[in-house]
Structure 1
Amino acid sequence: MTAPRRLAPDDPSLVDVLDLIRRSFACMEGRIDPPSSMHLLTLASLQDQCRSGEIWAAGTPPLACVFLTPRPDCLYLGKLAVEEAQRGTGLARALVDLAASRARALGLPVLRLQTRIELTGNRAAFARMGFRKTGETAHPGFDRPTSVTMEKAVPGGPAQA
């Protein structure tokens, strides 16, 4: 497997990343409400993510990917996806470790992500990678929590100094 690489807006692998996300998130259909925002993803929105943040992919074609978006107080991880046959091989952990390196380079003390309330397995996997629950949020129009916010301090980052 090749080391993760940052994709540019004109990278032809973005099409493969979009397909990977769609395959990886398909298991959420009928399990989460509201439906996943992955339905809103297009090649153009991935290109925009490359411009406003980062998309990293591991493998050729991509076997795993993650979106990284710098915010004033954290590096936000989104759309972490791993090819089903590659789950449990350490690809997600490698991308989270990469995110921690990127956060350190950007001077950001925390990694943050959100996962759906119904996806207890995802929450457990993130907890094994050192994330802890810091809150819950509701999507517009919902009177109950729909997402769990999780954070992980960046080792060696500004918060650790």
Structure 2
Amino acid sequence: MEQPPVSITQIPADFGRWGDVLALIMHAFAFMDGIIDPPSSAHLLTVEALRAKALRETGFLALDGDRIVGCVFALEKAEGLYVGKLAVAPDRQGQGIGRRLMQAAEDLARSRGKADIELETRIELAANHAAFARLGFRETERTVHEGYDRPTSITMRKTIS
């Protein structure tokens, strides 16, 4: 029997599965450990921090039935949206879920009259740079985390119409 397709939905105000979202993010970001320096800010997340993030930002979930297989958060800024914590379950990567989550963020930006979407990715994550480039993002700057003397992050932006 064929399973229903993954659905993308905005995180509701009364959402109660923050532990599941945190577990997804930690699992999806685990490959970065030992690769990126400084370590991912995902290590600072807690259930309470995610709950607070959802009060400031719009979150989207990718659901396969009841299973959370992806998420992304979008922070509204003056000109556009800042997108962060895009995560897809490792066993579901390569199936277009990340693309669909980013499309939900782009649709949100468009509905709010925003000119662009911006994100940051780490210098070491060349595969992420390429994936975001395929989605229409272009590098706009390189930034340095506090205490480092070299660029540690790449800012990428996509102009939307």
- Is TM (by shorter chain) over 0.5? yes
Aligned residue among 119, 125, 129 for 1:119: 125
Normalization by structure 2: what TM-score? 0.92
Aligned residue among 14, 23, 27 for 1:23: 27
Residue in structure 2 matched with residue 102 of structure 1 by the alignment: 108
Q: Does the CA contact (< 8 Å) of 1:9 and 1:46 recur in 2?
A: no
1:14 aligns with 2:9: no
RMSD over equivalenced CA pairs, Å: 1.1
Q: Does the CA contact (< 8 Å) of 1:116 and 1:146 recur in 2?
A: yes
Normalization by structure 1: what TM-score? 0.92
Runs of 4+ displaced beyond 2 Å: none
SS in 2 for 1:35: coil
Q: Does the CA contact (< 8 Å) of 1:20 and 1:83 recur in 2?
A: yes
Q: Which consecutive residues of structure 1, in runs of 5 or more, have no partner in the other structure?
A: 157-161
Distance, in Å, in 1 between the alignment partners of 2:7 and 2:18 is 17
The CA deviation at 1:73 is 1.6
The CA deviation at 1:11 is 1.1
Q: Which consecutive residues of structure 2, in runs of 5 or more, have no partner in the other structure?
A: none
Q: Does the CA contact (< 8 Å) of 1:10 and 1:47 recur in 2?
A: no
SS in 2 for 1:113: strand
1:44 aligns with 2:48: yes
Residue in structure 2 matched with residue 53 of structure 1 by the alignment: 57
Q: Does the CA contact (< 8 Å) of 1:7 and 1:14 recur in 2?
A: no
Residue in structure 2 matched with residue 142 of structure 1 by the alignment: 148
Residue in structure 2 matched with residue 82 of structure 1 by the alignment: 88
**Residue deviations 1:131-161, cap 9 Å, x none?**
111110011111110000001111x3xxxxx
SS in 2 for 1:89: coil
Query: In structure 2, what residue type is equivalent to 1:127?
Result: A
